[in-house]
Amino acid sequence: ASDVYKRQMAGFFCEQGASTPLPCETGTFGNATNLEAPDQCHVCPLGHYCEGNTSVPAKCPAGTYQEQYSQTSCEPCTPGYYCPEGSTTPIPCQGGTYGNGTDLASSDNCTDVAYGEWAPTGAALPERCFTGFYCPGRADDTENTPPGSKPIIVSEGGSTETKEALRKTMSLEMD
């Protein structure tokens, strides 16, 4: 009977003389038939999870990641970061954006900072602009790369723009 099992059941192994197949352990998978020992099951790879008696490791769903081998589940993505399907590590939201959640799946889920805010790389929430600085928001920031990633210092003690002015003179005579 064990020969029949060995030929038909991926995700299981059948030791010599066993009457029924045994599942590959949790954290491993068996992608072939005719496995004869538990060490023939493969370690679950990074970015995947293996619940046991499986023939194919499952990719971590978008919004989660797995940075260790032989795992049975995936971790929620870190706030300020996003995790596409099969992620092995979270990817930070770019400076000028932030990610207030643990289920972000792509950079499109990161939110642009608004006027009066800035955000460094990997920010979960935007920062308020400091006194003496200007924060135009991501859409209007032409100073920083990436836009909105840090406050812009305001110049002090002089004019930064020259404009033409019309000069008028008047005279007044008094008796």
- Distance, CA of 126 to CA of 120 (rounded, Å): 8
Q: Which of 35, 25, 27 is nearest to 5 (CA)?
A: 35
Q: Are 95 and 120 in contact (CB under 8 A)?
A: yes
- Distance, CA of 59 to CA of 29 (rounded, Å): 13
Q: What is the mean pLDDT of residues 25-54?
A: 90
Phi, psi of 16, deg, nearest 5: -55, 125
Q: Is the pLDDT of residue 20 over 90?
A: no
Question: Which amino acid is present at 89?
Answer: T
- For the stretch 41-77, pLDDT in tens is 899 999 999 987 888 999 999 999 999 999 999 999 9
Q: Are 88 and 67 in contact (CB under 8 A)?
A: yes
The single residue listed with the structure tokens 């954290």 is 27
What is the number of residues in the chain?
A: 175
Residue with the bigger pLDDT between 35 and 147: it is: 147
The tokens describing 147, both together, are 């836009």
Helix residue ranges per DSSP H, the chain: 2-8
Q: What is the mean pLDDT of the chain?
A: 88
